[in-house]
Chains A and B, each alone.
Chain A
């Protein structure tokens, strides 16, 4: 089944104002930067974005925030973005902060047909407010619900025409679970290869979870914290 679309414009076709998107990545690592740039160019607004982070002021989701295209963020950590903090404190931006493991599992559950699950994370904190509490093995847990998205946009290292994906190093992060949880999943890859090129044993995300795939025109792959040691 050929999932290839030729341009980023074709890839994001159908994304409309006020939709819910999942966007893969951890910090600026493994983010779908070509698709984000296209959403900025198209001016699609009122978006609810489910993403572990919110980018930095001038890269990643920060670009959508600058143009006020995001209505609500569902994230676990947003510390690197001044504009985000300003919009949140002024009430312009709705924010739902979720423990990182619960965010990952809620995406996974959404894709795996599990409506909700219990986790100990957040019990006794403001995260637990209004949530069902149940004790298992003498320990309190809270009920967390699955997350779904109209579109999930993920970034992989290599992908084939069938939509099979291979991620590189820690750029994998949230991408596999989000790929599962999108009604339509768009994969942008650094290298698009013909089906049969990738070894079946090495596929991280099977093509069944991907509806559209394209090779990104350009990847800046910006480093957020360049830390080195001297020889």
Chain B
């Protein structure tokens, strides 16, 4: 069965390593914080200026001066720090952050990503996404394999305005874990009960299937 958003987040959390600083984007990526594996210590960076982001505050303890990049009220963990936006992006551009997890509207087989603009429709802006994808070494995209109309989001080439070129190396969807290299999506794992055929049918870009593809384990 295809994973739900929490399942995608839970699978991505398995990629976390002890001692990493991690930036989580808005949406599914935020949920990754709920599934940190036992015995692993990671610190979450939010690009509006906090390292050591904690969970939402208890009701009545919200602080208008303490938010994350999604403008949600948050708390901090022991050892947290605050800084200005230039310092925050120095951490990102300078590759001091080990993992970036973000959502996408489209990803292409050469690692391009589009997640900020639909021409003539929505105008939101790229926020920190372009800085994040251009600089991070280790980017995981969290998204649904197809859009609501059933159209594949894993494409030969992105149709929407790009956020970054050739930067995505791993994608975790509701159906699969895929690695992007040599201009193709390489299938690494299937969601429990999802067949290779279904993934193939729902992937517009080139899909490489090598040998037996294991199911994700949780």
Within 8 A of A (CB), among B147-184: 161-166
A120: shortest Cβ distance to chain B, in Å?
4
Does B78 have its Cβ within 8 Å of any Cβ on chain A?
no
The answer, among A99, A170, A177, for a CB contact under 8 Å with B82, is A170
Please give, as numbers and ranges, the residues of chain B lying within 8 Å of A171 by CB-CB distance.
Answer: 64-65
Contact of B71 among A29, A102, A104, A169 (CB under 8 A): A29
Give the docked Cα–Cα distance between A27 and B66 (Å). Answer: 11
Tell me the nearest residue of chain A to B84, going by C-beta: A176
Interface status of A199 (Cβ within 8 A of chain B):
no
- Contact check, A125 vs B162: say whether CB atoms are below 8 A apart: yes
Interface centre among A105, A107, A175, A228 (most CB of B within 10 A): A228
User: Interface centre among B59, B71, B129, B164, by most A CB within 10 Å?
Assistant: B71
**Is A173 touching B123 in the complex (CB atoms < 8 A)?**
no
Q: Does B21 contact A (CB under 8 A)?
A: no
Residues from chain B with a CB closer than 8 A to the CB of A119 are: 93, 131, 134
With A124-B164, A124-B165 known as contacts, the answer to whether A170 contacts B127 (CB < 8 A) is no
Q: Once the chains are docked, how many angstroms separate the CA of A103 from the CA of B85?
A: 9
- CB pair B134 A121 closer than 8 Å: yes
Q: How far is the CB of B128 from chain A (nearest CB, A)?
A: 4
Given contacts A101-B131, A170-B49, contact A29 B64 (CB under 8 A): yes
Is there an interface contact between A30 and B162, defined as CB atoms closer than 8 Å? no
With A123-B165, A171-B65 as contacts: A225 and B89 at CB distance below 8 Å:
no
B residues in contact with A85, CB < 8 Å: 122-123
Contact of A174 with B by CB under 8 A: yes
- Partner of B135 from the list A107, A121, A169 (CB cut-off 8 Å) is A121
State in angstroms the CA–CA spacing of A221 and B71 once bound together.
13
Contact A120:B71 (CB < 8 A) given known A100-B89, A175-B84:
no
Contacts of B83 in A (CB 8 A): 172
B135 contacts across to A, CB distance below 8 A: 120-121
Pair B89/A104 contact, Cβ less than 8 Å: yes
Residues of A within 8 A of B127 (CB): 76-77, 99-100
B55: interface (CB < 8 Å)? yes
B70 CB-CB contact with A under 8 Å: yes
Chain A 93-133: CB-based contact to B (< 8 A → 1; otherwise 0): 00101011111110110000000000111111111000000
Q: A121-B135, A229-B55 are in contact. Are A76 and B72 (CB under 8 A)?
A: no
Which positions 161-212 of chain A face chain B at CB distance < 8 Å?
167-177, 204
CA A231 to CA B130, docked complex, whole Å: 37
Is A217 among interface residues, defined by CB-CB distance under 8 A?
no
B65 & A88 in contact (Cβ 8 Å cutoff): no
| Given known A-B contacts A99-B126, A100-B126, A124 and B162 have beta carbons under 8 A apart | yes
Top 10 A-B residue pairs of the complex, sorted by shortest distance between their CB atoms: A101-B89, A101-B131, A124-B165, A79-B124, A104-B85, A99-B130, A221-B64, A77-B127, A27-B71, A77-B125
Known: A105-B86, A107-B86, A176-B86. 12 other contacts (CB 8 A): A29-B65, A79-B123, A99-B126, A100-B126, A105-B89, A121-B134, A125-B162, A127-B130, A169-B63, A223-B64, A227-B74, A229-B56
Q: List 28 A-B contacts (CB under 8 A).
A: A29-B48, A30-B65, A79-B124, A85-B123, A89-B123, A97-B126, A99-B127, A99-B131, A100-B128, A101-B130, A102-B131, A104-B85, A104-B86, A107-B86, A119-B131, A120-B93, A122-B134, A123-B164, A123-B165, A124-B112, A125-B161, A170-B66, A170-B68, A172-B49, A177-B84, A227-B72, A228-B58, A228-B59
